[in-house]
Amino acid sequence: MKDRQILVVDDEPKMRRVLEIMLQKMGHRVLTAGNGREALAHFQAHTVDLVITDLRMPEMDGIGLLASLRAQDSDVPVVVITAHGTIETAVAAMKQGACDYILRPFDIDVLELAVKRALSSVEVTRQNTFLKQEIDRGWDAFIGTSVAMQSVYELIRRVGPSKASVLITGETGTGKELAARAIHNASPRRDKLFVPINCAAIPADILESELFGYEKGAFTGAIKDRVGKFELADGGTIFLDELTEMPMPLQAKLLRVLQENTIERLGGNRVIKLDIRVIAATNRDPLEGVRTGKLREDLYYRVNVFSIELPPLRKRVDDIAGLVDHFIVKQGHSTTDTRLTAKALEQLVAYPWPGNVRELENMVERAVILSGGGLLNEQHFLLPPLAAEAKPTRPDLPAAGLSTVRSLNQAVEDLEAHLIDNALAMAAGNKAKAAALLEISERTLWYKLKKYRPEQNPS
C-alpha cells in the first residue's frame, strides 16, 4: 500500500526528518508536526491515512493526541514510538486505541512492517464492515435449468476470468445483480470486494459522493473523510445498476474514471489510482437510451465490451417449478408439505410475469402464508384478472384484413396497433406492464399510443 499520507509527530527535528525520509522511500507522502496540538491542526486541514507519534512531547503528548483523535470519532490508525523505558506507557496507549508501537532505536524494516500492518488493518476494517452489510442484505444464487438460462451461465463462465467490462441488460426483477456477482465470483478478483450501487435509488446530489467519496470539509456536514464505492472496490468489482438513470454530468466523470483508472474525492485534489472491474446494468434498451439522451454514447461503448441479456421469466417458464420450491425452502418450509398443485403450476406458467422472478418470490411468500404451509392451490395465488388467462407468448396476429392487399407501411402500423391493444388488455391497462410484455420502453409505448390512439390522450 503506497501513496498514503502519513502524519509524523515528534518534538525532535532530527527524528522527524529521519522518519520523513524513510516513509518517502516507501512511496508515501509525509506531514510533520512537533507536538500534539500542531498535529491536530494538520489533521483538521489534511487527509491523513496514518499517524506515527512519539509519546513524550511538550504542550500535548502522544496520549493526549490519541485521546483527541478518538474524541473526534476518527478511526485513523495510530502507531506510537517509544524507548525501552516507556513500554508500559506504549501499552497503555494501545489500550486507548493505538494499533501498534515501535521501539527505539529501529531500522527501516521495522518501520515498514508497522506501517503495512496499520494500513492493512484499515482496509480489513473497511472490508469487514462492508461485507457485514452485504450479508445482512442477503442474496441467492441463480435457480434454473432452462435452455435460456444455460446460455446465460455459459456467457458468465466465459467472461468471468477476463478483465472485460460487462453490460447486463434485462427487465426489472430478472436477476441482473446476481449475474454480476456470478461474474465476479468466476474471476481472479473473487477474493476482493464486489461493490454494488443502484444509480436509480440514490438522489443525484448524493450519488457523486457515494461513488467517489469526499474529504473532510468538502461540504457542510463532511466532518471526516469518507471512502467512496470506487475506492472501496479497488482490486475487486463495482456493479453500477440502472446506469441509464445516472445524471449525464456524472456519466462524463465516470467515463474519465474508466479511461484513466483514477479518481479524486470530492473536495480533494489527490489523484487515487485504482484497479477495478466495472459491470453495469440497465432495464432499458441501452441503444434507445443513447438515442433519447439517457446514456452517453461513448460511455455505452466503454462499458459494453461484453454484453449479457437476461431472459424474462415468461421466456423461461420451465424454471418456475424449481423457483417456487427454492422460495418455499427459503421461507423455512419443506417442499414435501408445502408444494404446488398441478393446476396452480399451470396457472403460474400461463401468467406473463411483468415483475419477473422478484414478483414470483413475493407471490410465493404470500401463497405460503395463505395456505398455512400446506398445499399451494390456485386460490392462494392472487393473479390480476386478465393476466391469469394470458399465455406466455406474443398475441396472435389480427385475423381481419390480412387477406387484403395494402401498403406494407399501413399493414405494419395496423399490426403494431393491434399488438399494443392486446398487451394493454393483458396488463389490465397498466402501461408499464404492457411495455414489458412488448419488450419496449414505457417511453416508446407512450409515443406509439399518441400515434395510434390519440383519443386516449396519454399525457
For residue 234, what are the CA distances in angstroms to 1, 160, 278, 436?
12, 17, 11, 36
Angle at 237 between CA 251 and CA 127, to 5 degrees: 115
Q: Are 279 and 240 in contact (CB under 8 A)?
A: yes
Measured distance CA(444)–CA(435) in Å, rounded: 8
Q: What's the pLDDT band for 46 if we cut at 50, 70, 90? A: confident
Q: Which of 95-109, 248-262, 305-319, 363-377 has the lowest mean pLDDT?
A: 95-109
* pLDDT at residue 7 is higher than 90: yes
Read off the pLDDT of residues 210-265 as tens digits, 9 standing for 90 and up.
999 998 888 887 777 888 999 999 999 999 999 999 999 999 999 999 999 999 99
For residue 65, what are the CA distances in angstroms to 39, 48, 58, 71, 104?
8, 14, 11, 10, 20
Q: Is it true that 147-309 and 313-389 share their CATH fold?
A: no
CATH architecture of 408-456: Orthogonal Bundle (1.10)
Measured distance CA(326)–CA(153) in Å, rounded: 19
Q: Which of 29-33, 144-148, 320-324, 390-394 has the lowest mean pLDDT?
A: 390-394
Neighbours of 92 (CB within 10 A): 15
Read off the pLDDT of residues 263-293 as tens digits, 9 standing for 90 and up.
999 888 888 999 999 999 999 999 999 999 9
β-strands 78-82, 50-54: how paired? parallel
Q: What's the pLDDT band for 204 if we cut at 50, 70, 90? A: confident
Measured distance CA(66)–CA(57) in Å, rounded: 13
Q: Domain 147-309 sits in which CATH superfamily?
A: P-loop containing nucleotide triphosphate hydrolases (3.40.50.300)
Measured distance CA(168)–CA(311) in Å, rounded: 11
The pTM score is: 0.60
More confidently predicted of 312 and 396: 312
Q: What's the pLDDT band for 399 if we cut at 50, 70, 90? A: very low
Q: Does domain 5-131 have CATH number 3.40.50.2300?
A: yes
Closest CA to 165 of 145, 151, 149, 184: 184
Angle at 114 between CA 111 and CA 120, to 5 degrees: 135
Residue 412 belongs to what H/E stretch? helix 408-426
* pLDDT at residue 314 is higher than 90: yes
Sequence-ordered list of residues with C-beta below 8 angstroms from that of 237, at least 6 positions apart, any chain: 180, 183, 184, 187, 189, 192, 193, 194, 195, 276, 277, 278, 279
Q: Which of 166-180, 248-262, 339-353, 445-459 has the lowest mean pLDDT?
A: 445-459
Q: Are 438 and 395 in contact (CB under 8 A)?
A: no
Sequence-ordered list of residues with C-beta below 8 angstroms from that of 444, at least 6 positions apart, any chain: 288, 435
Sequence-ordered list of residues with C-beta below 8 angstroms from that of 129, at least 6 positions apart, any chain: none
* pLDDT at residue 96 is higher than 50: yes
Highest mean pLDDT among 81-90, 93-102, 117-126, 345-354: 345-354
Does the bond joining 458 to the residue before it have cis omega, within 30 degrees of 0?
A: no
Q: What pLDDT is stored for residue 174 in this prediction? A: 92
- Residue-averaged pLDDT of the chain: 83
* pLDDT at residue 137 is higher than 70: no
Q: What's the pLDDT band for 145 if we cut at 50, 70, 90? A: confident
Question: What CATH fold (topology level) applies to the domain 313-389?
Answer: Helicase, Ruva Protein; domain 3 (1.10.8)
Domain definitions of the chain by residue range: 5-131, 147-309, 313-389, 408-456
According to DSSP, residue 173 is labeled T
Q: What's the pLDDT band for 400 if we cut at 50, 70, 90? A: very low
Q: What pLDDT is stored for residue 135 in this prediction? A: 40
Q: Are 335 and 375 in contact (CB under 8 A)?
A: no
Angle at 247 between CA 246 and CA 251, to 5 degrees: 75
